[in-house]
Amino acid sequence: MLAKRIIPCLDVKDGKTVKGINFLGLKEVGDPVEMGIRYALQGADEIVYLDVSATIEGRNTFLKMVSSVAKNLSIPFTVGGGISSIENASALLLAGADKVSLNSAAVRDPSLVYNLAKRYGSQFVVVAIDARQIDGKWVVVTHSGKRETELELFTWAKEVENLGAGEILFTSMDHDGTKQGYACETLKKLSDSISIPLIASGGAGNTEHFSELFLNKCADGALASSVFHYGEINITELKRVLKSKNIDIRL
């Protein structure tokens, strides 16, 4: 059984890590390379970088940052945001990224998942799925939860797995930002329905939320941002707590 993973997520705009709510009211919280190094030293297993300004200029700035991260970081990192073609993904791979994360682009063109997995291998392709409950059904949404699709969470997750995705990153938009805990019941159901690793996102507020997630076997990894960025949770201490509860975690 693979060890559970702790994964900080950094939103990057114009070369700086930012934090806001649904990309509004963004505030700079640090240098993405320096923050990545710090999290790696604390024991993060992986890091996710999301480009939130994927214009042509923003893309060039982001590529430079990815290259710098690759030179300075000793742990795997995933990049996402605005990836809409094999060319986009190839440029990020050449810059040093270990994986790419597709979200809206996968919804628009599912064949992109298949083509990337075929060219670079499933381990390179992460599909991020945002969803919220509407009339008792988990509906896939895009554009930071603002646009509903006709896709249903569990069906879509199975489809992208069949297309070749190596991992799924699921964010419950109902839990995101609440710091009330992950959507464990839904995550457990989703994890049981697929055979590839599942990363949980949305709702982390304290160490107990991570413990609950892993003790109930709801996900293979836990992603969070603000609790790490603002020092509310130290990754080293978090992992010690998880280890004390006999959760398989790398220290």
| Active site amino acids | 11, 130
Tell me the CA distances in angstroms from 88 to 51, 64, 84, 116, 117, one per residue in order: 12, 14, 7, 11, 14
Quote the tokens at residue 120.
Answer: 């670079």
Place of tokens 């489809």: 159
Radius of gyration of the chain (CA): 17
* Alpha helix ranges (H) inside the chain: 32-42, 56-72, 86-95, 104-108, 111-120, 153-163, 184-193, 207-215, 226-229, 235-244
Tokens encoding 47:
């890091």
